[in-house]
Chain A
Amino acid sequence: MASQEITSKNLFSVSAAPVWHCGRTVRSTMLHSLLALLPAAIMAVYRYGYDAIAVIAWAGLAAVVTEFLMEKWMERESTADDFTALFDGVVFAFLLPSTAPIWLVVIGSSLTIVLGRMVFGGFGGSPICAPAVGWAIMTVSWPEFMDLNAMLLNWDLVEPLSDLKYFGVEAITDISYTSLLFGQNLGALGASQVLLIAVGGIYLLATRQLRWFIPISFLAGVYLTGLIYNIIDPTLYASPLFHLLSGGTMLAAFFLMPYPSSSPTWKLPMLLFGFLGGALLIIIRTYGIYPDGTCFAVLLINLCTPLIDLIQPKPFGGR
């Protein structure tokens, strides 16, 4: 019969519904994110020279190689081609002082992957933001090598948050907001390029790779909490704008807080998560022993994610 002949001749491929897809993949998202980090990386190289290139490159390399080895050991297919490991490594590098020794960069970047991701089953499984984990381990283990002021003695500049911590509000009165915006003070390699990090973040928002809920509510949380302290006593607590533009606030808002697996998924929880994270950042900076508490704030609020994510709407037609 004619129909049977045709059947044996060409069978068509089938696919489960829907046959359309928005075209976004983990790989494309990560490529966009890396592109968003690029301007800040270039600025870091311009400011800190070859050291910055070395730190970023070693961090990226160590992350990708560690992930590859771990996946080999776990007998899994390598996922190096989706660039998630590279992204984590680069973000981790952005949190380091540019003169960090290579052994520190390699160990930190490997631990970012191992303890931040692979122990939880790989990208997407970790309940905490991987680069923040790497930074926290390094800061606790080798505080002298992570101290931005001590590591960057070659430069005749100051680290605004350390100044605020150890010398009070008067010490930072002559630091202008524009200099903070353009990263003209000492700071972590990439995180201090505040304007360019924000540009990258806005690029991600504009291309809809990133939703606005967490970044905006995080910045609002930082600003409002900072404002409250500032109103209580302006001579003791820095202005909220200073907090927004210093340390790792911007990097946290656009890259650490919205880390996919460690942030909530519903709308209201995302807003709450961002806002509480921002508030926590100011609280840690005010009362903590470290000058910049960004990553600690991110890690702590990550731990609250499952709790916050319990706030769910009723399903459609639910009574």
Chain B
Amino acid sequence: MMKIRLNTSTVLQGSLQDIPVPTRVRIPLQEKHKSVVKKKQIVGCGQVIAEISSKSAYNLGFVHSSINGMVEDILPDAIIVGPIPAPKEGEEAPVPARTEPCAELDTLAGEELCRKLLELGVTTSGMHATRTVIVNGLNPEPGMIASEHLLESASETLKAGIQLLERALKPGSIKLVIANGRQFTVHGCTTITASDVYPATIDPLVIYAATGAERPDNVDILSVVDLYHIGRVAETKLPFTQSVVSVKDKVFCVPVGTAVEDLLTAAAVSIGPDKIVTLGGPMRGASIFDMAIGIDKSCSAITMVDVGQFPPVQPNPCINCGECVLACPARIHPGMLSRYAEFEMFDEARSHHVEACLECGMCTFVCPANRPVLQYLLLAKAALIAQDEEVAACRLQDL
């Protein structure tokens, strides 16, 4: 079997590629989004189709249609936009609305600008004014190459994004973290080099590399892909309705909600049920069972793995070898915690710092017993959150 390398930095080939505009997209929604369109409504590219009811400037971005078309269905987790049906005899063909550029983007600043960005589809929930901003310029996982690709090919857009961020957040400083030995710069950022070996590329560890502090509370982090989204909004003054997705060694710019199979067809990758396909990288990506699922804005890679290429994960007993402890960047004991979770001893898991877990998946990656260690940890975390909410609800009733 080939030796797995966890280095993420790669030499780049080719340029950002477009794919033929799909006729049908399935645009993913978050739970907080509220649909503002009706079935059969004709929507134009860039038109708002779901928004956030809260008036705060820091929240999830609005969702826009990524193609001209007709709303076919509104599901709790997605809106399906399909082709406009042919007009009946004697009727005029419906014309989708054109979205006008937002002229005031240049004049706004501070919180008002953040609110405007949110309306233009930029998620601002992780941003805070006057903090240090770190741009994670490392490819987050092996096989995800979009970040370095954008640093190399889209520095003007990234510069525009930085300028917009400076006006919106007035950050103390902006730092760009790139892989050791690489030569990327973005105008307006201080460049810092760091290890490109997973899991050193995940956000909390990049923050540590840039600031020397573990979980500092005055730092915001965003990825190069996020910055590229902001940069495109700044350049066009229109909502940016595309995702930058890497498939194998190519990087594509696709309309949000494009079905995975459409992208894979365009990328000339053949898939079948003998493959496991995940949205995201090989370490943290969620695998999907249905290739019609739409690509989310935040998804920056599609990873494929042959079924049977790796030993299957099974609920085997832990053998106490301690490999996970040596691999864990959070310095907790994933093996022990996974057993607490397995036997529903969630309070024990809390007292052994399960909440420090960074969810990088290294424990499952190295486990010789092939246990789903990370899943047990996630189970414990979710159970503890649910438990806390229950306790809080009880307290409120008592008052």
Binding site for B on A (CB under 8 A): 2-3, 6-7, 10-26, 28-29, 121-125, 211, 260-267, 270, 312-318
Number of interface residues of B (CB under 8 A): 66
- Of B292, B331, B332, B365, which is within 8 A of A18 by CB? B365
Contact B368 A24 (CB under 8 A): yes
Contact A21 B204 (CB under 8 A): no
Q: Which residues of A are found within 8 Å of B325, using beta-carbon distances? A: 265-266
Complex: A125 Cα to B321 Cα, angstroms: 10
User: In residues 301-327 of chain B, which contact A (Cβ within 8 Å)?
Assistant: 303, 305, 307, 310-313, 316-323, 325-326
The answer, yes or no, to whether B35 is at the interface (CB within 8 Å) is no
Q: How far does the Cβ of A311 sit from chain B's closest Cβ, in whole Å?
A: 12
- Of B24, B142, B364, which is within 8 A of A3 by CB? B24
Contact B291 A6 (CB under 8 A): yes
Q: Which residues of A are found within 8 Å of B319, using beta-carbon distances? A: 26, 123-124, 260-261
The answer, yes or no, to whether B261 is at the interface (CB within 8 Å) is yes
Complex: A261 Cα to B368 Cα, angstroms: 13
Contact B326 A317 (CB under 8 A): no
The main secondary structure of chain A at its interface with chain B is: loop
Contact B311 A21 (CB under 8 A): yes
- Of A15, A20, A121, which is within 8 A of B4 by CB? A20
- Of A21, A29, A261, A270, which is within 8 A of B320 by CB? A261
User: In residues 185-215 of chain B, which contact A (Cβ within 8 Å)?
Assistant: 204, 214-215
Contact A316 B277 (CB under 8 A): no
Question: Can you name the residue of chain A whose Cβ is closest to the Cβ of B216?
Answer: A317
Contact B317 A318 (CB under 8 A): no
Contact A18 B374 (CB under 8 A): yes
Complex: A14 Cα to B214 Cα, angstroms: 34
Q: How many A-B residue pairs have CB under 8 A?
A: 166
Given contacts A23-B1, A265-B322, contact A317 B204 (CB under 8 A): yes
Complex: A270 Cα to B366 Cα, angstroms: 19
Complex: A275 Cα to B307 Cα, angstroms: 44
User: In residues 208-251 of chain B, which contact A (Cβ within 8 Å)?
Assistant: 214-215
Given contacts A11-B289, A21-B311, A23-B311, contact A16 B317 (CB under 8 A): no
Complex: A26 Cα to B319 Cα, angstroms: 9
Complex: A237 Cα to B277 Cα, angstroms: 65
Contact A318 B356 (CB under 8 A): yes
For this complex, 26 residue pairs linking A to B, each with C-beta atoms less than 8 Å apart, are: A3-B259, A10-B273, A11-B290, A12-B287, A12-B288, A12-B289, A13-B276, A15-B305, A16-B374, A17-B280, A17-B284, A18-B361, A18-B365, A19-B278, A20-B305, A21-B367, A25-B369, A26-B316, A28-B368, A122-B317, A123-B319, A124-B321, A263-B322, A265-B322, A316-B330, A318-B356
Contact B287 A267 (CB under 8 A): no
Question: Can you name the residue of chain B whose Cβ is closest to the Cβ of A264?
Answer: B322
- Of B272, B292, B372, B374, which is within 8 A of A6 by CB? B292
Q: How far does the Cβ of A118 sit from chain B's closest Cβ, in whole Å?
A: 13
Question: Can you name the residue of chain A whose Cβ is closest to the Cβ of B363?
Answer: A18
User: In residues 262-285 of chain B, which contact A (Cβ within 8 Å)?
Assistant: 271-273, 275-278, 280, 282-285
Give the most central of A20, A211, A270: most B CB within 10 Å: A20
Contact B290 A12 (CB under 8 A): yes
Given contacts A122-B317, A124-B318, contact A318 B277 (CB under 8 A): no
Question: Can you name the residue of chain A whose Cβ is closest to the Cβ of B261?
Answer: A6
Given contacts A3-B24, A25-B311, A260-B320, contact A316 B283 (CB under 8 A): no
Complex: A315 Cα to B290 Cα, angstroms: 38
Contact A19 B275 (CB under 8 A): no
Question: Can you name the residue of chain B whose Cβ is closest to the Cβ of A19?
Answer: B305
The answer, yes or no, to whether B333 is at the interface (CB within 8 Å) is yes
Give the most central of A13, A22, A25: most B CB within 10 Å: A22
Complex: A211 Cα to B325 Cα, angstroms: 12
Complex: A16 Cα to B276 Cα, angstroms: 10
Complex: A16 Cα to B272 Cα, angstroms: 19
Question: Can you name the residue of chain A whose Cβ is closest to the Cβ of B280?
Answer: A17
Q: What are the interface flags for B83-108 relative to A under an 8 Å C-beta threshold, 1 for contact and 0 otherwise?
A: 00000000000000000000000000
Q: Which residues of B are found within 8 Å of A16, using beta-carbon distances? A: 287, 313, 364, 372, 374-375
